[in-house]
């Protein structure tokens, strides 16, 4: 069983976390926060221009796409299906224990192979003309092949495969076949690997659709400036108004937010014994549309996916240790529900922003220094679009 102390006290993380605590101590005593050097603006056309959205869609297919909890494919033959960016995919574990991602599309005439959300199977058999594929995506059998398709090169009719890695308990892919996944995670890899999140399992999922551009959804997680106002009632644990630490790792980021109990620890416990995750919330941003919210004994994964220029899907998944005491269940449920409420508050506000843009009264959004991570997010998009 993964104890909560194992998360905070991993030797490789201890130094990083101690440094972060020292930075927080300074910020709290000076009542300041990490922030950018100057305010900035972003043209509102970035949220309304259809040609911009087209380009961004291409970019998103080139970047890391999270598909689902790896715990859904623990045994060979288990599979789950997903459709990110309208691409039907099947994620499975083959007999050699390798997790693989295939197009959930038959090579014959394109029927969807598996309609079920998840299941377990030795082979994927198409419901239309019964072409079958093994767990490696190879075409096994074509009914009537000898006469109907003589000399068929079955190898060339394997399911299209996408690259895949598992990190932080989540299966990730790159949807553009010309791209590789190798180095995209490197900048954050050390921390994520040492948090041991790979062993965590699916607990709960909620899905929300909002009427706004996907970037507004991402931005709502990239700053804490709005917390005391927009979430005043839902986040009672926040006495440190607008204090956080921000760090970038290439296009990715980490935001550390202190919670009320931190001060008690700083006052009453020797620095050498300070705990980290018990007194802060850590939010990892994985560019372009994923967040991992790490709590003391479990974590939540938030996936933000554009459906259209003005429609966005948000999936919030809670992942917990494989084994935990029964009383923890209530805590996981409580935090999942709280997160749902906070997300709903953000998303309702985002929808009002998108509505307001239709009136064309604003040419630019004007951001404060507190919203620096949003500037970095937009810079990453701009650099990727060039």
Find which of ligand FES, Fe ion, none residue 346 binds, CB within 5 to 8 Å per kind.
Fe ion
| Nearest-approach distance from CB 131 to ligand FES, in angstroms | 4
Q: Which is nearer to ligand FES, 113 or 375 (CB)?
A: 113
Q: Which is nearer to ligand FES, 109 or 323 (CB)?
A: 109
> Interacting stretch for Fe ion, rule CB under 5 A, among 140-148, 184-192, 215-223, 274-282?
215-223
| Nearest-approach distance from CB 127 to ligand FES, in angstroms | 7
Find which of Fe ion, ligand FES, none residue 106 binds, CB within 5 to 8 Å per kind.
ligand FES
Find which of ligand FES, Fe ion, none residue 229 binds, CB within 5 to 8 Å per kind.
none
- Identify the three-state secondary structure at position 253: strand
Per-residue b/e over 129-148, b at no fewer than 16 CB within 10 Å?
eebbbbbbbebeebeeeeee
Does residue 191 interact with Fe ion by CB under 5 A? no
- What angle, 0 to 180 degrees and rounded to 10, lies between the N-to-C axes of helices 261-268 and 11-30? 100
| Nearest-approach distance from CB 231 to Fe ion, in angstroms | 6
Q: Which is nearer to Fe ion, 152 or 337 (CB)?
A: 337
Three-class SS string for 116-176?
A: CCEEECCEEECCCCCCEEECCCCEEECCCHHHHCCCCCHHHHCCCEECEEEECCEEEEECC
Q: Which is nearer to ligand FES, 131 or 203 (CB)?
A: 131
Does residue 346 interact with Fe ion by CB under 5 A? yes
The binding track of 239-258 with respect to Fe ion, each residue x by CB under 5 A or -, is --------------------
| Nearest-approach distance from CB 40 to Fe ion, in angstroms | 20
Q: Find the helix or strand (DSSP H, E) in which 208 lies.
A: strand 201-210
Tell me the HSE value of 198 on the side-chain side, using a 13 A CA sphere.
Answer: 12
Alpha-carbon distances of 230 from 209, 299, 319, 377, rounded to whole Å: 19, 23, 26, 22
Q: Which is nearer to ligand FES, 109 or 241 (CB)?
A: 109
> Interacting stretch for Fe ion, rule CB under 5 A, among 17-25, 157-165, 186-194, 217-225?
217-225
| Nearest-approach distance from CB 112 to ligand FES, in angstroms | 9
Q: Which residues bind ligand FES (CB under 6 A)?
A: 106, 108-109, 111, 126, 128-131
Q: Which is nearer to Fe ion, 34 or 346 (CB)?
A: 346
Q: Which is nearer to ligand FES, 2 or 89 (CB)?
A: 89
CA angle 160, 58, 352 (to 5 degrees): 125
Residues 6+ apart with CB under 8 A from 61: 85, 174, 175, 176
| Nearest-approach distance from CB 128 to ligand FES, in angstroms | 4
Find which of ligand FES, Fe ion, none residue 109 binds, CB within 5 to 8 Å per kind.
ligand FES
- Alpha-carbon distance of 111 to 113, in angstroms, equals 6
Q: Which is nearer to ligand FES, 11 or 144 (CB)?
A: 144
- Alpha-carbon distance of 185 to 192, in angstroms, equals 9
Phi, psi of 65 (to 5 degrees): -120, 125
Helix intervals (H) in the chain: 4-9, 11-30, 45-48, 50-62, 145-148, 186-194, 214-219, 227-230, 261-268, 326-357, 372-385
Does residue 56 interact with Fe ion by CB under 5 A? no
Question: Which residues of this protein are in contact with Fe ion, per CB under 5 A?
Answer: 220, 346
């Amino acid at each position: 069983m993964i104890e909560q102390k194992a998360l905070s006290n991993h030797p490789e993380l201890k130094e990083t976390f101690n440094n972060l605590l020292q930075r927080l101590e300074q910020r709290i005593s000076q009542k300041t926060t990490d922030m950018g050097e100057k305010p900035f603006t972003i043209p509102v056309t970035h949220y309304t221009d259809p040609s911009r959205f087209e380009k961004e869609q291409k970019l998103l297919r080139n970047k890391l796409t999270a598909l689902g909890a790896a715990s859904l494919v623990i045994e060979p033959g288990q599979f789950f299906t997903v459709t990110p960016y309208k691409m039907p995919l099947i994620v499975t574990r083959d007999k050699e224990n390798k997790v693989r991602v295939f197009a959930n599309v038959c090579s014959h005439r394109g029927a969807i192979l598996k309609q079920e959300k998840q299941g377990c199977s030795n082979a994927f058999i198409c419901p239309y003309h019964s072409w079958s594929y093994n767990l490696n995506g190879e075409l096994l059998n074509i009914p009537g092949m000898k006469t109907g398709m003589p000399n068929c090169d079955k190898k060339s009719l394997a399911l299209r495969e996408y690259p895949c890695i598992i990190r932080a308990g989540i299966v990730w892919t790159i949807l553009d076949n010309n791209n590789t996944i190798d180095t995209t995670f490197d900048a954050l890899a050390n921390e994520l690997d040492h948090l041991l999140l790979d062993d965590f399992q699916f607990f709960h999922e909620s899905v929300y659709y909002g009427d706004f551009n996907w970037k507004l959804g991402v931005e709502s997680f990239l700053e804490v400036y709005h917390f005391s106002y927009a979430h005043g009632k839902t986040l009672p644990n926040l006495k440190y108004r607008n204090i956080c630490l921000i760090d970038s790792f290439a296009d990715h980021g980490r935001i550390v937010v202190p919670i009320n109990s931190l001060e008690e620890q700083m006052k009453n416990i020797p620095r050498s014994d300070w705990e980290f995750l018990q007194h802060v919330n850590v939010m990892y941003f994985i560019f372009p549309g994923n967040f991992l919210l790490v709590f003391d004994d479990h974590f939540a994964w938030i996936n933000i996916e554009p459906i259209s220029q003005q429609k966005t899907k948000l999936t919030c998944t809670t992942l917990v240790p494989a084994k935990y005491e029964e009383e923890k269940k209530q805590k996981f449920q409580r935090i999942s529900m709280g997160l749902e409420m906070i997300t709903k508050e953000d998303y309702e506000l985002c929808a009002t922003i998108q509505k307001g843009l239709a009136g064309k009264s604003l040419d630019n959004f004007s951001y404060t220094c507190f919203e620096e991570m949003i500037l970095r997010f937009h810079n990453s998009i701009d650099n990727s679009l060039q």
